[in-house]
Amino acid sequence: MIRKYNKETSFPNRTIRLIKYVTKGKEEFASLETKTKNAGKPY
């Protein structure tokens, strides 16, 4: 029981870190995507 409780308390921190990492990656990908789209435009 104690082990399970410890896992559950450490879980939110991990999730927040993962979400931050994922959103950062998505933002970087989005900016990269817009850059390539703008570069592909003739005007």
Per-residue pLDDT tens over the stretch 2-35: 566 556 556 677 777 888 888 888 888 878 777 7
Domain boundaries, the chain: 7-40
User: Quick check: 1 pLDDT over 60?
Assistant: no
- Amino acid identity of 40? G
pLDDT at 32: 79
What backbone torsions phi and psi does residue 31 show, to the nearest 5 degrees?
-65, -40
pLDDT at 39: 65
Distance CA 26, CA 19 (A): 10
pLDDT at 11: 63
